[in-house]
Structure 1
């Protein structure tokens, strides 16, 4: 048996985009602070604030017993305006193993997990999940799985079966076509927003009647994300070692949960602190989302090395807080920030090149006027625009059925 909790949002509105409802896998929204969780939260937050005539009614589906640390105000559902589209939220508290049985009984899975018969489309954020059989779906691709892996096979299978694939860069669109064989007319581009941390910082400062944090005397080089080999944490540390040997006054701050490179990073940090002292590096391995806005705002720059990200969301959010960017040479980053002052794109394997860029970025990030201009340059990237792009894509997908 399953226990389902359903919470209705604004009353159904007439004049919606189409009569069909769009269901959305919302599980990671309240359950996972960064990454895909942030995408889902901010997308839905923006969708429920669109005028009803511009948006689809939504069914937010959550599956599993995992904790929901982002529940409440971070979701932005409780204060959704009455002028927005109707939305409902359904939580099915079944263990993941039981949910997986839905692959063998898709009709039963749809009955137990949703969506309702009103839903014409399910928007997925993960391949093959939740297992709802023949329900037409769209899927978002924000990162490409390693070539030849089981995850890549699953991603390819889902992209080919989808009514449409939503991507966040021109390069990602070309790769979905070339790698997975998805026809161009089933690939849709959406922007991403940049205002999430800035909004939360302003709201928390207003509630606490305190000013936003000043730039710290100790210049922090911020590295965000799980400590995985695909994010090159040891290479970041090697470049920081070169920088400190030049007597640069800075600290390297990792913020992310342990991943497959955690042990290698700990070993490398042990060698580095012998040369430069304990204060040179800090790793926050259990980040709290409520503290992230002030953490980012107080940093001097973002160092963002990655192997195959296909969304510029983290660099854009840091730019909205005024931070310069040192990043991998990935098209998703270069497409939106390549022409802006304060962005340097580097090779992960060249610590000297990264250190050179860090010196330039530290100087820029210490200049209040630069930070103001940098923040202004990211303002056009909004989650409202992303929500509208998703609705336009869903309308075309549903129009084909």
Structure 2
């Protein structure tokens, strides 16, 4: 149904937004190239600049420096109506007195499109969105998910070059969010329309986007595919933000051959340790995903010990079990460990059928090759 034949690439060229009365940019020199037909997700905590970036692209916020392009056109200072974009908001913004069909076709009616064409485009969009049987209903007779699909349909019938979506699933319950995000991602791939999607939910970002852009305090931290971002976070912020449960981040001393991890020495890339030494760091921050720990000893609980050390002191880092989440095939241990004289929270994934009891103690070590090493002083990634 995609009607635009021109390339709908989107470029943020050092785009900056500074709100009146502020000296700190809300978005600072944002530089992203979005390919034609790509689904890019902007994600980050509240106040990071993701919605501001989207509104700059839509023409709803001024660009104080830099430029924004859609295809070959510089749209930096064009009004929203001239940008060939369609927005879907958190609020469905449907007219309550109009039918679903009238809501979906309203923008075309205002643009002077004839009734037959409007009806054809609305029916095509309704078929795609499984809304055909609801076209004569009013919004109040629809569920939240159906209303959001109507808002999507209103955007689709315009056949824009770019879809802009600002937290469109925030008003839906958890189960409906999961099903609707799958529908949106599938629909976008079917239509092939370049889409920029804003969310604060990193799980949503990782499951929907072709690429994900992580922002913090108005600055772009990393833009990459979900898999690459999970496997190679660029810095400590991305490492702690992407992943559910989050990556464990532990500051440990550098020692001969690697880093000291409890009663074990974990081998670490020599280049990473050399880079840390060049920065004057005596410690590095090691990141380990919950699924990348091996249990070397377990005292207490239902699970069997995987292996035991012959020495008096067990290998690895001692973790006291506080809470266990049993999720069927997997379980997650939420515990604490003493690192550098301080208690540190850790999460370890375990066999869901062999979970330890609360109060038990595990000794864990990172699996070889599954550690991420970051500079403690700058937060940047050091390991390959």
TM-score normalized with structure 1 length: 0.27
TM-score normalized with structure 2 length: 0.28
| Richer in helix (by share) | 1
| Richer in strand (by share) | 2
